[in-house]
Chains A and B, each alone.
Chain A
Amino acid sequence: MKKEILKLRGVKVHFPVQAGVFNRVVGHVLAVDGVDLDIFRGEVLGLAGESGCGKTTLGKAILRLVEPTDGEVKYISKDDNETELTSLEKKDMDPFRKKLQIVFQDPHSSLNPSFTIFGSLQDPLKKFGIKSKEERRKIIGDLLEAVNMRREYMDRYPHEFSGGQRQRIGIVRALCLEPELIVCDEAVSALDVSIQAQVLKLLMQLKKEKNLTYLFITHDLSVTEYLCDRIAVMYLGRIVELCDSEDLYNNTLHPYSEALISAIPVADLDKQTKRIVLEGDVPSPVNPPKGCPFHPRCPKATDICKTEVPTLKKYSTNGNEHYASCHLIDLPEIS
Chain B
Amino acid sequence: MAKSSLDKKFDQIRKREEEKTFSTKKRSRIVNKFLNNRLAVLGLIIFTIIILASIFAPLLSPYDPMRVDLRSMRQPPSFDHWFGTDSTGRDVFTRVLFGGRVSIFIGLGSAILSAVVGIAVGCYAGYKGGWIDVIALRISEIFMSFPQIILVLLLVSITGQSLFNLMAIFILTGWGGMYRLARARMLSLREEEYVQALRSFGLSTFTICYKHMLPNALSPIMVNITLSTAMFILTEAGLSFLGLGVPLNIPTWGNILNVAQDILILQNYWWMWGPVGIVISVFVLCVNFIGDGLRDSTDPSQQG
Contacts and interface: CB of A to CB of B under 8 A. Distances in A.
Contacts of B32: none
Nearest to B301: A113
B196 interface: yes
B211 A123 contact: yes
B212 A104 contact: no
A102 B198 CA distance: 10
Nearest to A119: B212
Nearest to A108: B193
B199 interface: yes
Contact of B194 (A65, A93, A109, A157): A109
B300 interface: yes
Given A109-B194, A120-B194, A114 B300 contact: yes
Contacts of B201: 97, 123-124, 127-128, 177
A161 interface: no
Interface in A237-278: none
A104 B196 contact: yes
A112 B200 contact: no
Contacts of B193: 104-106, 109-110
Contact of A97 (B29, B200, B301): B200
A114 B197 contact: no
Contacts of A295: none
A136 to B, nearest CB: 14
A60, A94, A115: residue with the most chain B Cβ atoms closer than 10 Å: A115
The bracket for how many chain B residues form the interface is 20 to 34
B199 to A, nearest CB: 6
A123 B207 contact: yes
B207 A112 contact: no
Given A105-B193, A106-B193, A113 B216 contact: yes
Interface in B209-230: 211-212, 215-216
A144 B197 CA distance: 18
B303 interface: yes
Contacts of A104: 193, 196-197
Interface string B274-304: 0000000000000000000000000011010
A312 to B, nearest CB: 28
A123 B208 CA distance: 10
A65 B194 CA distance: 12
B62 interface: no
Contacts, number: 63
Contacts of A173: 197
Contact of A109 (B192, B202, B215): B192
B236 to A, nearest CB: 34
B193, B198, B303: residue with the most chain A Cβ atoms closer than 10 Å: B193
Given A93-B202, A114-B215, A159 B194 contact: no
Given A113-B301, A114-B216, A124 B203 contact: yes
A281 B212 CA distance: 39
The bracket for how many chain A residues form the interface is 20 to 34
Given A113-B301, A159-B300, A127 B203 contact: yes
B143 to A, nearest CB: 23
Contacts of A110: 192-194, 197
Contacts of A63: 200
A123 B198 contact: yes
A290 to B, nearest CB: 33
Nearest to B207: A123
A186 to B, nearest CB: 11
Contacts of B196: 60, 65, 102, 104
A101 B202 CA distance: 11
B194 A112 contact: yes
Contacts of B303: 159
A113 to B, nearest CB: 4
A90 B202 contact: yes
A133 to B, nearest CB: 16
A101 B216 contact: no
Given A94-B202, A112-B216, A123-B207, A157 B197 contact: no
Contacts of B202: 90, 93-94, 97, 127
B200 A102 contact: yes
B203 A123 contact: yes
A112 B212 contact: yes
A110 B201 CA distance: 14
A326 interface: no
A140 B192 CA distance: 22
A120 B300 contact: no
Nearest to B215: A114
Nearest to A107: B193
A170 B192 CA distance: 13
A111 B211 CA distance: 14
A65 B192 contact: no
17 contacts: A60-B196, A94-B202, A97-B200, A104-B197, A109-B192, A109-B194, A110-B194, A110-B197, A111-B194, A112-B194, A114-B216, A114-B300, A115-B215, A120-B194, A120-B212, A127-B203, A157-B29
Given A113-B301, A159-B301, 13 more contacts: A94-B202, A97-B200, A97-B201, A100-B200, A104-B196, A104-B197, A109-B194, A112-B194, A114-B215, A120-B194, A123-B201, A127-B201, A159-B303
The 4 closest A-B pairs by CB, nearest first: A124-B201, A114-B215, A110-B193, A104-B193
